[in-house]
Amino acid sequence: MSVDNLSVASATSSKSGVVIIGAGLAGWHVIDAIRAKDAEIPITLITSDSGDRYHKPMLTMAISQNKRASDLVRASGSDAAKTAGVTLLADTQVTDIDTATQQLQLISANRPDPAHTDYATINYGKLVLAMGAHPIFPKSLPQDLVWHVNHIERFSQLQEKLATGSQHVAIVGAGMVGTEIAEDLLRAGHKVTLIDLNDAPLSQMLPAKATARIAKAIESQGIQFLGGYQVSAVTRVNNDDSEDGEKLQVAYAPLSSDADNTDTQPLEPLIVDHVIASTGLTVDEQLPAAAGVEFDRRTGIVVDAATLRTNAANIYAIGDCMSINGVACRYVAPLRAQAATIADDILGHEHSGYDHKPPMIRLKNKAISVMVTGVPNAAGNWQVKTESDDELIMDLIDDNEAVSATVTIKAPAVPKA
């Protein structure tokens, strides 16, 4: 991005224009929704990367399909922006939001030399926060040694490393993403160790009877699952058996509630080629704090359920960075409806308001079929509805004796000979 481009953005981002921060699925959905109803209103899209359009959920199943990052990109950011008539400010960060003047402070750092870093101030009429969430890295997982698969750039870098041959990968965190990546890597021919604080995968979402089936299914494939263990450190070690002489050591220990247990012996550390963190997501509070919007450290930016407005005038939020009624919105399915509501509200169109419906959650693993409707909570009152060797259906019963979530687990169909 050049100073000239920033000047263009300043001119086009007038008091009647829309500025969107974040070029993930959420940000592009807002652009699509606005352009479907208004081809003229100025839109400026600001993103810290190239702004390329791709479907992020594909990242957890692309390695086994031998798909590279370029295969997942549907359109480059520059091409997509040109098609939509949008001013794209790529490789640019917003450093401050002034709600009194409705201005954003920007910095472009697409060149490493600070002497060539560009700064600018642009105006907004309406502002949409679509900046997503970023991975949580506990202190035991140093970012310079540990991968995450939450962005296409990091995915591409990891895929390049894995393309050299079969390797041993440790995944820390057995939520949905970690469990999906584990199977994807296994199917690509790698050795996989999945480590989690809980006794089974998806244990923060589902009851033990359900998660036990998931654990059994993934272990039957050949994935090593270490449940009830905490990673204490990841360090680099030299290993003469490795072509580059370098591997990673993963130190871990069992989580024991028995404080008097003194017989636990130190466990032999894992020696692996790569470590992937899948330990949850968090929303950066810098911009919400600057704008003075209501923010929850656990779930993100608080919005009005019907309009997706924040408590700050002319500012909306969408996607991974926002929460509705205290629940984070971290799924792709509702984005189109969310974007349509924001577009109507920005353009002053009459609309019935956003009606948030929790999407169906589907684990993408082939070893077992897991579908969840409603808002699951592992600690809730789950009751068995159907139970057999091939199928388990359980309902979550709320305080009013109504079903608030359902999980359906089925064994995979056996292909016909």
pLDDT at residue 7, as a whole number? 42
- The pLDDT of 36-43, averaged and rounded, is 97
Residue 94, pLDDT above cutoff 50: yes
Give the pLDDT score at 11. Answer: 40
pLDDT of residue 366: 94
CATH dotted code for 3-133+283-347: 3.50.50.60
Hey, do 136-277 and 361-410 end up sharing a CATH topology, with the first three levels equal?
Answer: no
Confidence class of residue 356 from pLDDT cuts 50, 70 and 90? very high
The pLDDT of residue 13: 43
How confident is the model at residue 8, as a pLDDT? 42
Taking only the tens place, the pLDDT of each residue in 271-281 is 999 999 999 99
Reply yes or no on domain 361-410 having CATH 3.40.50.2300.
Answer: no
- pLDDT recorded at residue 412: 84
**Model pLDDT, residue 1:** 39
> What mean pLDDT do residues 56-77 have?
91
Lowest-pLDDT choice from 43-47, 59-63, 84-88, 275-279: 59-63
In this structure, what token pair is assigned to residue 335? 């984005």
Q: What is the pLDDT of residues 249-287, one digit of tens each?
A: 999 999 875 545 545 566 899 999 999 999 999 999 999
Task: Provide the pLDDT for residue 31.
Answer: 98
Q: Tell me what pLDDT residue 413 has.
A: 65
More confidently predicted of 241 and 254 = 254
Question: Is pLDDT at 136 greater than 60 in this prediction?
Answer: yes
Residues 6+ apart with CB under 8 A from 248: 145, 170, 234, 235, 236, 237, 271, 272, 273, 274, 275
Which homologous superfamily does the CATH classification assign to the domain defined by 136-277? FAD/NAD(P)-binding domain (3.50.50.60)
Q: How far apart are CA 271 and CA 235, in angstroms?
A: 10
- What integer best gives the mean pLDDT of the chain? 90
pLDDT value at position 112? 53
The total number of residues shown for the chain amounts to 417
User: What's the pLDDT band for 231 if we cut at 50, 70, 90?
Assistant: very high
**pLDDT given at position 414:** 58
pLDDT for position 193: 98
367 has a pLDDT exceeding 70: yes
Q: Rounded CA gap, 416 and 413, in Å?
A: 9
Q: Say what the pLDDT of residue 240 is.
A: 56
Q: Residue ranges of the domains in the chain?
A: 3-133+283-347, 136-277, 361-410
Give the residue-averaged pLDDT of 2-16: 45
**Which amino acid would we find at residue 227?**
G
Strands (E), 124-207: 126-129, 134-135, 168-172, 191-196
Q: What percent of the chain has pLDDT over 90?
A: 80
pLDDT band for position 3 (cuts 50, 70, 90): very low
| DSSP assignments along 270-335, one per residue | EEESEEEE-S-EE---HHHHHHT--EETTTEEE--TTT-B-SSTTEEE-GGGEEETTEE---STTH
pLDDT in tens, 302-343: 999 999 999 999 999 999 999 999 999 989 999 999 999 999
pTM confidence score:
0.89
How confident is the model over 284-310, as a mean pLDDT? 96
Report whether pLDDT(171) > 50.
Answer: yes
Amino acid code (one letter) for 231: V
pLDDT value at 2 more than 50: no
Res 10: pLDDT: 45
